[in-house]
């Protein structure tokens, strides 16, 4: 199943409290549970004004549906084609 990275523009995201982040996470998990097992949230990265989320989903529309139900912005959705890290530079 494809993996996606979602960019969410959220002003002052980096200043959200632990309680705020917990509530957002709970809301997201509740919606994901209702949507079924085909969409999975893997992790998110919070920066000053954006949140980057990694999801596994059958298609981009499923990601959009989750965002709409949760009233989360999904300013950009991109399918991840491959991953690289420092070990990619090594000869096999």
The model carries a pTM of: 0.92
Coil, strand or helix at 46: strand
pLDDT in tens, 36-55: 999 999 999 999 999 999 99
Domains observed in the chain:
3-89 (3.30.70.3090)
For residue 4, which of 46, 63, 71 has the smallest C-alpha distance? 63
**pLDDT at res. 91:** 85
* Tokens standing for residue 27: 């809301």
Nearest to 74 by CA among 52, 90, 49: 52
SS3 59: coil
The secondary structure element, H or E, covering residue 25 is helix 18-35
């Amino acid at each position: 199943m494809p993996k996606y990275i979602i960019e969410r523009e959220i002003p002052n995201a980096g200043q959200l409290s632990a309680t705020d982040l917990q509530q957002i996470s709970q809301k997201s998990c509740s919606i994901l549970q209702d949507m079924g097992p085909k969409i999975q949230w893997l992790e998110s990265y919070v920066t000053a004004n954006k949140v980057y989320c990694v999801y596994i989903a059958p298609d981009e529309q499923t990601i959009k549906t989750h965002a709409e139900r949760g009233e989360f912005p999904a300013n950009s959705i991109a399918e991840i084609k491959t991953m690289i890290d420092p070990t990619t530079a090594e000869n096999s």
